Amino acid sequence: MSKKNGLSNKQEDKWEPKNFMLEATTIWSFTDRGNWATHNGQYRGNWSPYIPRNIILRYTNKNDLVLDQFLGSGTTMIETKLLERRGIGVDVNPDSILLAQRNLNFSRNEKYKPKIYQADARNLEFITNSSVDLICTHPPYSNIIKYSNNIEEDLSHLDVDEYLEEMKKVSDEAFRVLKDEKYCAILIGDIRKKKHVIPLGFMVMQTFLNSGFVLKEIIIKEQHNCKATDYWYKKSIEFNFLLLAHEYLFVFRKPKSEQKKL
Ligand SMILES: C[S@@+](CC[C@H](N)C(=O)[O-])C[C@H]1O[C@@H](n2cnc3c(N)ncnc32)[C@H](O)[C@@H]1O
């Protein structure tokens, strides 16, 4: 093991995915979730680093400023640092902040070490209007996975109706901080309650459209290695429903101010 940052020498050589190619279609599927640099799948509900890598490479240039206001374990910020973009990561949970800081503690590209804030995605007052080049983020899916026990601002405690109301504040704030003509990518999945699907993905998509964004892409992301699969497989047979195996990656554009009035 290297003493410097807790990475094995083997991992230290592994700063990039092998044979990486940008996704070219609207269906994304990563059977190998990606474990280069400090990426690992241990934080429950973290996303594959292939997602932010694709989004960052497609929609930004070197030195651009990227925001992830639902930081989690820091996957997006690891990618901004590796890809030489400036980053701002935000999360309400102090445990997530600590974990992300640990994951970001590697020696490569120290100049691009992101700024990390313990704060609420609904109130990014420390970020000025129209200053961010890309938003690349992954909020809780209502209360499907709870990320904390007693953090009041944690949106993963909210039922669908309240969650959507609060996500409107998130999307308004995202719209405020993003520069005109820049992109906001958000991963979100549907949920199932009482044997029926709640199309949370499209509900959140509409919330962002209501804030003034326009839709650039809808990407279907196939889900792999869902930790609850065995349990849900049995339930799906017992109650005759299909297992949800996809999420949506919505890419929005913030239109130019003049266009908004048209
Ligand atoms: C789906 S996880 C993000 C996982 C991340 N993409 C990763 O790869 O590790 C959602 C995160 O949102 C955070 N969160 C919940 N409510 C929040 C809020 N109001 N403001 C900022 N972060 C919040 C949770 O603490 C959790 O870490």
Q: What is the pLDDT along the chain (262 residues), one digit of tens a residue?
A: 333 444 444 454 689 999 999 999 999 999 999 999 999 988 988 999 999 999 999 999 999 999 999 999 999 999 999 999 999 999 999 999 999 999 999 999 999 999 999 999 999 999 999 999 999 999 999 999 999 999 999 999 999 999 999 999 999 999 999 999 999 999 999 999 888 999 999 999 999 999 999 999 999 999 986 656 788 888 889 999 999 999 999 999 999 986 555 5
For residues 20-33, one letter each, b for 16 or more C-beta atoms within 10 angstroms of the residue's C-beta and e for the rest, the string is: eeebeeeebebeeb
Q: Report which protein residue has its CA nearest ligand 1's atom 13.
A: 70
Q: Is 46 in the pocket of ligand 1 (CB under 6 A)?
A: yes
Taking residue 219's Cβ as centre, other Cβ atoms within 10 Å add up to 20
For residue 67, the cross-strand partners are 88, 135
Instruction: Provide the sign of the torsion angle of the four alpha carbons 126, 129, 134, 136, taken in this order.
Output: positive
The CATH number of the domain covering residues in 9-261: 3.40.50.150
Distance 174 CA to ligand 1 centre (A): 15
Distance 124 CA to ligand 1 centre (A): 14
Q: What is the pLDDT of residue 2?
A: 39
Phi-psi region of 255 (alpha: psi -120 to 50; beta: other; left: phi over 0): beta
Q: What is the pLDDT of residue 195?
A: 82
Count of residues making up the chain: 262
Q: What is the pLDDT of residue 8?
A: 47
Distance 97 CA to ligand 1 centre (A): 10
Taking residue 255's Cβ as centre, other Cβ atoms within 10 Å add up to 15
**Nearest atom within ligand 1 for CA of residue 73:** 9
Under 8 Å between Cβ of 115 and 126: no
Taking residue 40's Cβ as centre, other Cβ atoms within 10 Å add up to 15
Instruction: Provide the sign of the torsion angle of the four alpha carbons 121, 126, 131, 136, taken in this order.
Output: negative
Under 8 Å between Cβ of 150 and 162: no
Q: What is the pLDDT of residue 7?
A: 47
**Nearest atom within ligand 1 for CA of residue 74:** 9
Q: Is 96 in the pocket of ligand 1 (CB under 6 A)?
A: yes
Taking residue 83's Cβ as centre, other Cβ atoms within 10 Å add up to 19
Q: Is 117 in the pocket of ligand 1 (CB under 6 A)?
A: no
Q: What is the pLDDT of residue 19?
A: 92
